[in-house]
Amino acid sequence: MSEATPRVAVVTGAARGIGAATAKRLAADGFAVAVLDLDEATTKDTVQEIEAAGGRALGVGADVSDAEQVQAAVDRIAAELGAPVVLVNNAGVTRDNMLFKMTEVDWDMVMNVHLRGSFLMTRACQKYMVDGKWGRVVNLSSVSALGNRGQANYATAKAGLQGFTKTLAIELGKFGVTANAIAPGFIQTEMTKATAERMGVPFEDFVKAAASQIPVARVGQPEDIAHLVSFFVSEGAGFVSGQVVYAAGGPRA
Ligand code: NAP
């Protein structure tokens, strides 16, 4: 990889949280980064921070669950930044509720963003990886994949992403493409803030209570996950594929 032609990475849901930290980390690692989120305007801060640090970034608006928008976004990334050969499927939503109160709309929404979204984005980008005989896919799963009260939809989607990851590893391996999943525990972002609000607990107390249950005695930060993404997409990680790493500050969720 020469400095003049950096490899291109796409990070979905990169306006904030884990996605924003990952986009910034991959830019610092030398990738040109497509900062993709629902609304292009919300990607501005991440793009500006990358550019201010001397990196290259492109803000792209798209709903990952919409096939046409995904194709248009990937076409634009390929035209304006270059062939997308690293994909981080990070965009996510929660619509928590106990099973007996869960609506079909909330079930479908969570499936669509996590599963359909990762499928559509990966299908659109894999062509560039296969053509170039090199690629990296990282999918954001969760400790919730092991089961979590009030998250039948989210747990199902996050477990599904693990099967998706392993299948990508099998299908795409011979083209120099690896696929891995990261299953974070509690990470301090807007997503966990929204959970605290829904439960009526001040976020600070929620974070303290979570940290008290975690062996490393703190909650995770977006940069903790970005660091692991950085490893998975690195040149040297080419023999690591189809794996799920639980990044939760300890051995158990
Ligand atoms: P976050 O702060 O809520 O950020 C998620 C981003 O995804 C938001 O910018 C959101 O945009 C975007 N997004 C949502 N739906 C989208 C769609 N259809 N198309 C494109 N972008 C979309 O979440 P986070 O905490 O950083 O989580 C990132 C990923 O890690 C998610 O997959 C999440 O499930 C997973 N994860 C998080 C934790 C945690 O503790 N935080 C733990 C385990 C796994 P809008 O703001 O416009 O909706």
pLDDT tens digits for range 195-247: 999 999 999 999 999 999 999 999 999 999 999 999 999 999 999 999 999 99
d(CA 184, CA 224): 9
Tokens of 167: 């299948």
Render pLDDT for 45-63 as a digit per residue (tens, 0 to 9).
999 999 999 999 999 999 9
Supply the pLDDT for residue 252: 80
Render pLDDT for 17-31 as a digit per residue (tens, 0 to 9).
999 999 999 999 999
Q: What is the mean pLDDT of the chain?
A: 97
Q: Specify the ligand 1 atom closest to the Cα of 14.
A: 9
CATH number attached to the domain at 8-186+221-247: 3.40.50.720
Supply the pLDDT for residue 113: 99
Supply the pLDDT for residue 3: 53
d(CA 242, CA 223): 22
Query: Residues with Cβ within 6 A of ligand 1?
Result: 12-13, 15-19, 37-39, 42, 63-65, 90-93, 113, 117, 140, 142, 184, 186-187, 189-192
Instruction: Show me where the domains of the chain are located.
Output: 8-186+221-247
The amino acid occupying position 182 is: I
d(CA 192, CA 123): 29
Supply the pLDDT for residue 80: 98
Render pLDDT for 179-199 as a digit per residue (tens, 0 to 9).
999 999 999 999 999 999 999
Contacts within 8 Å (CB) and 24+ apart, 40-47: 42/15, 42/16, 43/14, 43/15, 45/15, 45/20, 46/14, 46/15, 46/16, 46/19, 46/20
Closest-CA residue to 178 (of 233, 217, 231, 221): 233
Tokens of 112: 């669509």
Residue owning the nearest CA to atom 33 of ligand 1: 92
d(CA 228, CA 182): 8
pLDDT at 253 over 80: no
Residue 54, helix vs strand vs coil: coil
pLDDT at 2 over 50: no
- In whole angstroms, how far apart are CA 243 and each of 66, 162, 168? 27, 8, 11
d(CA 207, CA 116): 31
